[in-house]
Structure 1
Amino acid sequence: MHRGLTALLAAAGLALAGCGTPASGSPESPEITFYAHGESIRVEAAQFCNAIGTECSPPNPDAIGDLRVPPGSPVQISVPSEVSSAPWQVAMMYRLPNGQEVADRSSVFTPDERRTYTARPPADDAQFTRVEVQQYSGVLLPAEDGGIQFALAGTWVVTPQS
């Protein structure tokens, strides 16, 4: 499952890199709110594409948010209707006390199923190192296993600090 997430994250980067060329009519990126330990931040998309992947904003590496998240603390996520109106999920990476990096993810939420999610580390001393909201588009791409997968329409990233 964790190797699958690594492949999914790699594919996400390729999917975003491959969505149409930036156009003057590039879609406006909605912001997502991340909350932890009494603080919240609003984060723009690292990249955002329209639902069919033909118009994308340029990649925005400055959009990655920093949020103080002590070990063992959850991260609450609130997405606007522009995000929840399409399938979306949360990808998480955390470090265990022994230094091992572990990847995990939520289930994929169907359109309008929910607008919030709480990411919880697996143990009281595990430290989140990355929390990423991924919104899927209607574009299908070939998967490594020979099947198909949906391309990402947008990705919002927080790199928690302890």
Structure 2
Amino acid sequence: MHRGLKPLLAVAAVGLAAGCSSPSQPQVTFYSHGNAVAVEAAQFCDPTGQECSPPKPEAVGELRMVGRDPLQISVPAEVAGAPWQVVFLYRGLNGQELDGRSPVFTPDSRHSYTLQLPPDGARIEHVEVQQFSAVLSQGADGGVDFGIGGSWVLNVKQ
């Protein structure tokens, strides 16, 4: 399992414990080098985290990326209306698995993001759009962490 899915599973457990029903599910579109794929949510909750769809581990998109082209990500208003970010795994030239993340985008500030790879020849392997919910939990550093209320997953083929 990829590290990007761990927060998703924690939110899924919270949602199932709350006796959730299914809210409407927006799709996120990933685009690169003339190819696009619209991906269903692997998990989606209402903003309060009270009503959640059942987890769908099979809801993983696949997209072939050519060379060093960027990955463009488009999110609908239902996603952009809450804080969201992009997390990703990539492989460096030496084969080492590395991870990164975009800044957290504030509600309604943007509906798209372009993921540029580092200039060292790294290859992107896995991307996840994560929408934050209003569910709070105690952070490991003593602060507060927001739960992941929605997650859209993409595996990249080279």
| TM-score normalised to structure 2 length | 0.91
1:60–1:132 distance in 2 versus 1, CA, 3 Å: same
**Is the Cα–Cα contact under 8 Å of residues 87 and 111 in structure 1 kept in the other structure?**
yes
Shift of 1:16: 3.3
Q: How many residue pairs get matched?
A: 157
* Residue in 2 that maps onto 1:39: 35
Distance 1:23 1:49 in 2: 12
Alignment of structure 1 residues 75-86 onto 2, 5 Å: 75-86=71-82
Shift of 1:85: 0.4
1:139–1:24 distance in 2 versus 1, CA, 3 Å: closer
Amino acid at match of 2:154: V
Cα RMSD of the aligned pairs, angstroms, is 2.0
Distance 2:156 2:137 in 1: 31
**Is the Cα–Cα contact under 8 Å of residues 16 and 54 in structure 2 kept in the other structure?**
no
Shift of 1:17: 2.8
* Residue in 1 that maps onto 2:125: 129
Using the aligned pairs only, state the percent identity.
48
Gaps in structure 1 of 5+ consecutive residues: 1-5
SS at match of 2:89: strand
Gaps in structure 2 of 5+ consecutive residues: none
**Is the Cα–Cα contact under 8 Å of residues 29 and 74 in structure 2 kept in the other structure?**
yes
**Is the Cα–Cα contact under 8 Å of residues 16 and 151 in structure 1 kept in the other structure?**
no
**Is the Cα–Cα contact under 8 Å of residues 87 and 110 in structure 1 kept in the other structure?**
yes
